[in-house]
Amino acid sequence: MRTLGIDYGNKRVGLAISTPVGGIAQGLQTIERIDGHDYLEELAEVIKEKEVGEIVVGLPKNMNDTIGEKAEEVLVLVETLKSKFNIPVHTIDERLTTVRANRAMAGAKMTKKGKKKRVDMIAAQFILQSYLDQNRRNAEEDWEVD
């Protein structure tokens, strides 16, 4: 079972997928959110093709840990994904993932437009990797013996 990571933005939806054993996040395409284009259909194709068993969506909390307008929009998306795809959908705090993604590309020899297209995918990788790492730590704690 693979896990799909999503960085949901106003213009683009960045995607990342876990390896089959779930240890590493790999970047996928970015879906453009263009008027009249149903990005959920494109997402459905990815879910089917990659055999996704669960989804994790970055939740953009405010720096003071409150839920703002954008986070409310993401929570609506989470409910939509749960009902449309009938698989578990989780959220994880995504504060500063886009900043980290931009820093990761700082030395890359890419055009500004090229970086803009990749930043959401890289942010989705950070979101997914954080989720995978958190799950691995929780599993290791469950295995600890007193």
Phi, psi (degrees; rounded to nearest 5) at 2: -105, 155
Q: How far apart are CA 62 and CA 118, in angstroms?
A: 24
| pLDDT at position 144 | 57
The CATH number of residue 105's host domain is: 3.30.420.140
Place of tokens 């840990």: 65
The whole domain housing 40 covers 2-143
**Top-ranked range on mean pLDDT: pick from 17-21, 22-26, 79-83:** 79-83
Share of residues in the chain with pLDDT > 70 (%): 78
pLDDT for the residue numbered 97: 62
Provide the token pair at 87.
């698989």
pLDDT tens digit sequence for 105-130: 556 666 666 656 677 888 899 899 88
Model confidence band, residue 48 (pLDDT cutoffs 50, 70, 90): very high
**What is the model's pLDDT at position 93?**
86
Task: Please write down the long-range contacts of 39-43, taking CB distance under 8 Å and 24 or more positions apart.
Answer: 39/13, 40/80, 40/84, 43/13, 43/15
pLDDT of residue 94: 82
Count structural domains, the chain.
1
Q: What is the pTM of this model?
A: 0.83
